[in-house]
Structure 1
Amino acid sequence: MTPPLAHPLTDILIVEQLEPLLFRGRLRTAMPIRAFGGEVSGQAVLAAGRTVPPARHIHSAHAHFLRPGRADAEVTYKVDDTRDGGSYTTRRVEAIQQGEVILLLTASFHVGDASPLSHQVPRLASAPVESVLDPDESFVGDEDMLDWVTWLRDRQAVDLRFPQPPVRARVRDGRPTDPRQSLWLRASDPLPDDALVHAAAFTYLADLLLLSTGLGPHARSFPDGALMFATLDHTVWFHEEARADQWFLHDMEGTWSGHGRSLCRGNIFDRVGRLTASTMQEGVVRPLTR
């Protein structure tokens, strides 16, 4: 039986405050039993941010995944108010499920200030989202890719478009390809006018496909059933406030693989080319032993 569709991100990215530094979240993404890491880290960002004065905006979130989470159990988020400085605030969050810590997240918040020292990398030369075909058109006749895109869209509550074929499509002929891919992405439903909610949404959405980028040179993809993969850590640096319910481009690159691990990084640009966030992720990626 097909599992139910995901809830909108407004339902997924929500935590209930039980005490000043204690929160509870429910995992709602329609996944198999193992929880989606982006959902846990996104909720942890919310828990951290709800203990910080509104004038302080998140500029980094570093999540370490310690144990697999379960999609069918509640998560408790225990926040430590590590530091409240003159300009910066630090929070440490433990995500606890069934008595075990499944994630540690450190988040830093900053009182923004004007500075003449400002620059960014050039945006990837990519077609504007309006000229990129919807996957239903770009993958017409390709049932494998259509099924995969439908699963991503419906289970993760996102809209997405690929300026070029993703790594998954490029390795199906068994030939290696560059460890690079990009996609236009946005939450499929409107989000509230709350900068913290959008930061949590970017944390959630940045987890999609990032680790798979490093499989290109090895002509592999996660669905081939012969790989063990799991995210070890997931980091987002927030540079500019942006909306996750408006189209943004996530340009991803697999920089290194070895010793059973893979490291991937990305840049997130808005539609006018501003670098709004940077991402990095390391994960276990190794062949299964029979």
Structure 2
Amino acid sequence: MTEVARAAAEALDQEPLTADGVPRGQAVLDRLVALLDLEKIEENIFRGVSPSHSPVRVFGGQVAGQALVAAGRTVPPERGVHSLHAYFIRGGDPSVPIVYEVDRIRDGRSFTTRRVVAVQHGKAIFALSASFQKVEQGVEHAEKMPEVPAPDGLPTHGELMTPELKAKFGRIADRPRPIDIRYVSEPPWLSRESGPREASNQVWMRADGTLPDDPLLQVCVLAYASDMTLLDAILARHGVYWGTDNVMGASLDHAMWFHRPFRADEWVLYDCVSPSASGGRGLATGRFFTQSGELIATVVQEGLIRIG
């Protein structure tokens, strides 16, 4: 682990609080960018770290984002990622670095395929396959964006957290947030008070600051953010939530398809639904739209959901 990477990770805990009591803004976003800037330790081998404020397990979006960075570092820049498919195999240990091993599966005339395995303590904790494609022209169509309120008039995540909820969530409530999230639907930790509702969840998201003009980084930040709030659609249907009820959950797999160019530091709507839950697992799907209504990405994830 480099001293620069270690310092970037630890600095996340040192940002001043904002008006809503949550560390956020450009300085916190810059630490996320540093977190995604992996150290190359050998050909096709990279190393990443976790922020010191991490919970017991490494955040799944972090591993997915770092693995995609590792894959992209071995692909010509003119080929953009169009899909990824991943499995969360073991919980990551935030106290030690993660090694990312890239397998160059195929370099074709139009498509490039990479496989990445994230390793800790000599064991695989995460596996990702990603496909990259050169820019091509073809048929065009897309679903329309749902009609929702604009993000700027919606309260921040911190403004929605009552002192009682902050006490229940503990340190998690005040952790640095490089992604600004504005709830369109009532947040699950509030809606649970009125019981079950539809298995859906809608939020506006954006990186809380300005990102460098790097298309791969834009995609990796969206992959990082896509693991936030997605499984909330499952919990909403049952009127429970992490940290406030006896709920155990974990991401099992994750798939994304990127349809059109975008910037992750501009508002995107994350429209999530859960078509099914059974056998201790729940399935959730999400669609990302720009403010102008363009469908830019689709997400599918299955998660472990145990309610005791």
Within the candidate set 163, 175, 183, 1:162 is matched to 183
Kept after mapping to 1: 8 A contact 2:83/2:258? yes
In the TM superposition, what whole-angstrom CA distance separates every residue of 1:193-226 from its partner, at most 9, and x where no partner exists?
1110111101100100111210122111122342
Residue 263 (structure 2) pairs with residue 268 (structure 1):
no
Partners of 2:183 and 2:229 in 1: how far apart? 12
Distance in 2 (CA, whole Å) between partners of 1:31 and 1:63 is 21
TM-superposed deviation, 1:143:
2.7
SS of the equivalent of 1:42 reads: helix
Taking the TM superposition and a 5 Å limit, the aligned residue runs for 1:1-290 are 4=13, 7=28, 8-28=31-51, 30-115=53-138, 117-135=139-157, 139=160, 142-144=162-164, 151=172, 154-173=175-194, 175-288=195-308
Task: Tell whether the 8 Å contact from 2:189 to 2:244 is kept in structure 1 after alignment.
Answer: no
- Partners of 1:240 and 1:149 in 2: how far apart? 38
SS in 1 for 2:243: helix
Q: Shift in Å at residue 67 of structure 1?
A: 0.4
Deviation, 1:150, is 9.6
TM-score by length of 2: 0.85
What is the CA-CA distance between 1:156 and the residue it aligns to?
A: 3.5
Amino acid across the alignment from 2:33: T
SS of match in other structure, 2:233: helix
Q: 1:107 to 1:272 in 2, by over 3 A?
A: same
Q: For residues 29 and 199 of structure 1, what CA distance do their matches in structure 2 show?
A: 24
Asked if structure 2 preserves the Cα contact closer than 8 Å seen for 1:266 and 1:278, the reply is: yes
Change (3 A) 1:12 1:64: same
SS in 2 for 1:278: strand
- Unaligned 5+ segments in structure 1 are none
User: What is the Cα-based RMSD across aligned positions, in Å?
Assistant: 2.1
Runs of 4+ in 1 over 2 A off after TM superposition: 3-8, 130-137, 142-156
Structure with the higher fraction of residues in helix conformation? 2
- What is the CA–CA distance in structure 1 between the aligned matches of 2:175 and 2:56, rounded to whole Å? 17
Residues matched between the structures, number? 282
Question: Aligned to 1:216, what secondary structure does the other structure show?
Answer: helix
Report the Cα distance in structure 1 between the residues aligned to 2:201 and 2:117, rounded to whole angstroms. Answer: 32
Deviation at 1:135?
4.3
Q: Give the secondary structure class of the aligned counterpart of 1:165.
A: coil
